[in-house]
Amino acid sequence: MVVAGNEIRPGRRAKIELPLARLMSGTPVALPLIINHGRRAGPTIWLSAAIHGDEVVGVEIIRQVTAELDPKTMAGTVIAAPVVNVHGFNTGDRYFPDRRDLNRSFPGSSRGSLAARVARIMMTEVIKRCELGIDLHSGSDHRINLPQIRADLDDTATREMARVFGAPVAIHAKVRDGSLRQAATEAGATVLLYEAGEAHRFDDLSVEVGVAGVRNVIASLGIADPATRADPGDVVLARRTKWARAARSGVLHLDVRLGASVEPGSQLASIYDTYGKRLSRIRAGSAGLVIGHTQRPLVNRGDAVIHLADTS
């Protein structure tokens, strides 16, 4: 195979720097790719992380997964893009320097904004070669997520892969305009979006579930037989999610943890004033699974506090 002018023979691993742009100082900026091109024919898949530059859990997942791949024994190809938003990654920002969201800039164009140009290169050199991809994300805006897959669960192949991945919950999610998932789906690929943990941080659970999930998908496609393979547990499939919001402004105390199952009326959180008096309790409106929550201890009335997947 030839990627951006680099020939990669079957059975070889290549590290490629895709030229993207130059910094204002003139320094070249490149998108790193790790390509494991199997000796035998098989499916081609991609792994992408840090499309939002501050979401680094996926960078570590890709490091662990690619380290154990051996192209000499593989049937198929894994193209890993551990840092898609190179600019944001270097500055710890979710967005591009002009505040554009790369995940709203797909499929991109060669004459558009910087984000659109990066999206276009990612589409041409990576996504269009692949029949399946896993895009790795984390919670934004001081929120933390339970490891979860977001995907089109109405599509049989996608739903099956969400089960194979084995994260504790898979949520049906419509594609968003301009997202990598939408552009890749329209290009004919099956796409899983993995959401786990929080921006700027690694956490063991998010990394472990993500590494196991990617290994499970690679194994189920017959690309490689990982040294260790976790048995996917039961995956809760959810159609809807809902944020429980603060009814008062004040100091927040959470009463549930990520992954907790709650009943209608369960107390999720309390809000206190600065004198220590309880102002409000936040309760679950229906049965659900806690899939995310804010990490901010101070809230305004109306702030999203607890994210519940509806399991009723």
The site for Zn ion (CB under 5 A) is made up of: 52, 55, 137
Q: Which residues of 65-84 are buried (b: 16+ CB within 10 A; e: fewer)?
A: bbeebebeebebbbbbbbbb
Q: How far is the CB of 99 from Zn ion (least distance, A)?
A: 15
Taking the complex as a whole, the smallest distance from the CB of residue 156 to Zn ion amounts, in Å, to 26
Q: Which is nearer to Zn ion, 57 or 130 (CB)?
A: 57
What DSSP character marks residue 297? S
Closest CA to 13 of 82, 84, 66, 49: 66
CB of 179 to Zn ion, least distance (A): 10
CB 54 to Zn ion: min, Å: 9
Contact in structure between 49 and 127 (CB atoms under 8 Å):
no
Based on CB atoms, which residue is closest to Zn ion, 55 or 152?
Answer: 55
Helices (H) and strands (E) in the chain, counts: 6, 19
* CA atoms within 13 Å, Cβ hemisphere of 267: 9
- Which residue's C-beta sits nearest to Zn ion? 137
Q: Quick one: 55 or 60, whose CB is closer to Zn ion?
A: 55
Nearer to Zn ion by C-beta: 137 or 172?
137
Backbone region of residue 191 per phi and psi (left: phi > 0; alpha: psi in -120 to 50; beta: other values): beta
Q: Nearer Cβ to Zn ion, position 88 or 288?
A: 88
- Least distance (Å) from Zn ion to the CB of residue 225? 31
Q: Which CA distances in Å does 277 have to 251, 252, 280?
A: 10, 12, 9
Query: At 116, is the secondary structure helix, strand, or coil?
Result: helix
Is the backbone peptide bond immediately before 107 cis, with ω within 30 degrees of 0?
yes
What DSSP element (H or E) covers 208? helix 204-220
In the complex, the smallest distance separating the C-beta of residue 51 from Zn ion, rounded to whole angstroms, is 6
By beta-carbon proximity to Zn ion, the closer residue of 141 and 263 is 141
